[in-house]
Amino acid sequence: MSKTVSLPLELTSALPPGYEIRKLEKSDKAGALDVLSVLTTVGEISDAAWDDRFDYVSKHEDTYTILCITDEVGKVCATGSLIVERKLFASTPSLLNPFPLVTFC
């Protein structure tokens, strides 16, 4: 997954000073799982399982975009997903479904 993402200035400028929104990186495993553990039971996820799923998502950037917000020291404190859902009816061939950012700051 490339690190850069194009987002509206209204969104990026609303972040506190020193915070950044970017695409999730493979090296963000511990921080992302900490954040998600606030919402659900995460369980033990091996590095190999994380890498396999991350690689899958990365290969399907036309469908999945996983974002994170990092604080001034680079710690992941929020995560969320943008998923393009391809519908089976003609009037709306694709919909962008934003999944809320889970925060842990």
pLDDT at 89: 72
Contact between residue 82 and residue 99 where contact means Cβ atoms under 8 Å apart? yes
Question: 98: domain range?
Answer: 9-103
2: in domain: no
For residue 81, give the 3-state DSSP assignment: strand
Spatial distance between the Cα atoms of 5 and 28, rounded to a whole number of angstroms? 16
Q: What is the mean pLDDT of residues 59-72?
A: 91
How many independent structural domains does the chain possess?
Answer: 1
Contact between residue 23 and residue 17 where contact means Cβ atoms under 8 Å apart? no
- In sequence order, what are the residues at sequence separation of 6 or more whose Cβ sits closer than 8 angstroms to the Cβ of residue 47? 29
Contact between residue 49 and residue 26 where contact means Cβ atoms under 8 Å apart? no
pLDDT at 38: 87
Contact between residue 88 and residue 67 where contact means Cβ atoms under 8 Å apart? no
84: in domain: yes
Q: What is the CATH number of the domain that holds 28?
A: 3.40.630.30
pLDDT band at 3; cut points 50, 70, 90: low
4: in domain: no
> What pLDDT digit, counting tens, does each position of 45-65 carry?
999 999 999 999 999 988 888
pTM to 2 decimal places: 0.78
